[in-house]
A and B are shown apart, each in its own frame.
Chain A
Amino acid sequence: MDEDDAALLAAVRDGSARAFNTLIDRHQQAVRAFVRRLTRPADADDIAQETFLAAWMQAGSYKGASGGVRSWLFAIAWRKAKDDHRRRFRLWRRDAAYRDTAAEDRRATPAEDGIALEQALAELPIDQRAAIVLCLGAGFTHQEAAEVLGLPLGTVKSHVLRGRERLRGILGEQP
């Protein structure tokens, strides 16, 4: 799969539209799922589309990564989502203030776990959220997630640990 991806990317670099289509079909679901957890749903697909557009344009700069082309795509998506997050920082802070007041009324029951988890994830800082989504949701190793996020391995481990603890706290679970 990974060798195929590298070959596909080489073909994309040479201008193959068919290879590009296959690359999109193969990775769109994972990339979109990742971006949806980092940004507003309305913007997620825009960012995912920009990710593949950047992949087309930067195909020549791919030098290989431990997680392969998939990691490379996620790294592009991460940078774009983070840029978007910065642009919307003021709006996000206002939303966060609203969520903080609303959070006091929330305590999860087992039936509400899904909703509560979703809200809890949204309350995590974007770095922690990304680390959680990659390691627990997308099956990345800590090392691969560190490469995608451009962070030291220890920071990613700490993000996953703290993010998990925070989620547990928000969900009202005892360690």
Chain B
Amino acid sequence: MTDRLDKAIAELLRKDAPAERDPLFRVRVLERLERVRYRRRLYAALAAAAVFTAIALIGAEAGGSTREGVRVLLVAAALIAVYFVVAPVTQLFLRFGGPSGKN
């Protein structure tokens, strides 16, 4: 009786199992991964922006000119933009065509 029950349970569990290959599922996992990475990059960029803004404000309060403050902010914006453009491209290069030979 126990065997019959065990077999019935095993059959039930196998009955409506997901497909053995499901590329759509994989795509959804990768999509989540990209979303997490993007969020991380965004937080890092926001943190960097906050730091540069604080530096500019401190510089202005210490007697620096507005023009210098604006320069610092422009440099910060440029660095953040470069980070957003270069980081994903670098990651792709390292993952799929990099010289490391990991793949």
Query: Whole-angstrom distance from the CB of A47 to the nearest CB of chain B?
Result: 12
Query: Whole-angstrom distance from the CB of A50 to the nearest CB of chain B?
Result: 7
Question: Which A residues form the contact surface with B (CB < 8 A)?
Answer: 11, 14-19, 21, 24-25, 28-29, 32-33, 36-37, 45, 48-50, 52-53, 56-57, 113-114, 117-118, 121, 132-133, 136-138, 164, 167-168, 171, 173-175
B86 interface residue per 8 A CB criterion: no
A-B contact count (CB 8 A): 95
Stretch at the interface among B29-37, B51-59, B71-79: B29-37
- Interface size class on chain B is 20 to 34
B85 interface residue per 8 A CB criterion: no
**Dominant SS among interface residues on chain A:** helix
Of B2, B18, B94, B96, the most chain A CB neighbours within 10 A belong to B18
Q: Whole-angstrom distance between the alpha carbons of A138 and B10 in the complex?
A: 8
User: Would you call A49 and B29 a contact (CB within 8 A)?
Assistant: yes
Q: Which residues of B contact A28 (CB under 8 A)?
A: 18, 22, 25-26
Query: Whole-angstrom distance from the CB of B34 to the nearest CB of chain A?
Result: 10
Query: Whole-angstrom distance from the CB of A38 to the nearest CB of chain B?
Result: 12
Q: Whole-angstrom distance between the alpha carbons of A68 and B25 in the complex?
A: 23
Q: Whole-angstrom distance between the alpha carbons of A36 and B91 in the complex?
A: 34
User: Would you call B5 and A24 a contact (CB within 8 A)?
Assistant: no
Of A14, A50, A171, the most chain B CB neighbours within 10 A belong to A14
